[in-house]
Amino acid sequence: MGTGIEEKDTGDKDVKKIKGNRLLYDNKKNKTIAGRRPWKPRSRPYSVQIGDRNCDVLISDESGKININKITDDTKDNFVKFLTFCKLDILTAETITDSLLDWLDKDDLHHINGAEKDYYSSLPDPYEPKNGSFESIEEMALVKGVTPHIFEMIREHLTIYGAGKINVNFASREVFSSVPMFTSEIAEAIIQFRKKWGSVKRIDSLKDLLSQFGIVGKDYQKILNYLTISDSNYMTIHAIASSDKIKNSYKIVIQKSLDNCKVIAAYP
């Protein structure tokens, strides 16, 4: 039984060996390197072995998700577009979106398909709407129209952290569907670009890519209001550890700063 941590697939062909999470030799730099090799958000998991257990660790940036606290009357059509992409019918999508806006706002006035205190107080197990920002994604399950099945279907694409712009380097096809003027073909082109080059490192690369689909000039400038290539300070770390007999999954959300990281949410 091993006791150290050995990375099995670094994703870097220039790295010869990693042991104890320390990089021993790098062909590219032609020298031994001391110290820890940092893990960063990426689309594929890191694979490590801890004792006799294999562990896949996926690190994703929360900026690749839709921030439900940033949805407004001006952008609600984008969320409806996302929900219909997730196979919800238009009435259900509009009900959830309007009810979400009612959950966020501080008044008791209904959006057309929304819900306020009178609706929630009439339920068999009554409760009051938040009338404020979501403090956890789980609160979304309390919003009118969000069934347990719908919540499980959309939760991985939602966040309550960050500035609200969608990071093209981490967004899923579902999240891309919420961007105005974006089609499935555009989303697929960006995903294939990431697979080939790792990430979109320059905004000009995004400009060139979108121009192939006719998004230029004022349309391109409008798109930039919704997209970013900059990482946020919030990351999700999802670890799945397995052996011959058992399998465990752990997920945490961390807030990072220059000198430390703070766990702000944890899920079994």
158 in any annotated domain: yes
233 in any annotated domain: no
pTM of the full structure = 0.82
Residues 143 and 12 grouped into a single domain: no
CA–CA distance from 140 to each of 150, 165, 206 (Å)?
Answer: 10, 20, 32
**What percent of the chain lies above the pLDDT cut of 70?**
86
Residues 80 and 210 grouped into a single domain: yes
Contact 56, 45 (CB under 8 A): yes
Phi-psi map region of 223: left, alpha, beta (phi>0 left; psi -120 to 50 alpha): alpha
Contact 18, 209 (CB under 8 A): no
Enumerate residues 6+ apart whose C-beta is below 8 A from 170: 41, 43, 60, 61, 63, 64, 65
Number of domains in the chain: 2
pLDDT at 15 over 70: no
Bridge partners for 159 per DSSP: 67
Tokens representing residue 42 in the block: 């990426």
Closest by CA position to 200, among listed 231, 223, 222, 175 = 231
Task: Find the CATH number of the domain harbouring 179.
Answer: 1.10.40.60
Residues 246 and 180 grouped into a single domain: no
Tokens representing residue 113 in the block: 């398909």
Most confident of 16-30, 140-154, 222-236, 242-256: 140-154
pLDDT at 29 over 50: no
pLDDT of residue 45: 86
pLDDT at 20 over 70: no
Give per-residue pLDDT as tens, 175-220: 999 999 999 999 999 999 998 988 888 888 889 999 999 999 999 9
Residues 41 and 90 grouped into a single domain: no
Enumerate residues 6+ apart whose C-beta is below 8 A from 253: 62, 161, 234, 235, 236, 237, 263, 264, 265, 266
pLDDT of residue 87: 97
Residues 94 and 45 grouped into a single domain: no
Residues 156 and 41 grouped into a single domain: no
Enumerate residues 6+ apart whose C-beta is below 8 A from 235: 41, 59, 60, 61, 62, 253, 254, 256
3-class DSSP state for residue 167?
A: strand
Residues 80 and 212 grouped into a single domain: yes
pLDDT at 46 over 80: yes
Over range 145-170, report the average pLDDT: 96
pLDDT of residue 28: 45
- Host domain of residue 73: 64-228
Give per-residue pLDDT as tens, 52-101: 788 999 998 999 999 999 999 999 999 999 999 999 999 999 999 999 99
**What percent of the chain lies above the pLDDT cut of 90?**
65
Contact 20, 33 (CB under 8 A): no
3-class DSSP state for residue 135?
A: coil
Read off the pLDDT band of 245 (50, 70, 90): confident
Tokens representing residue 221 in the block: 């400038």
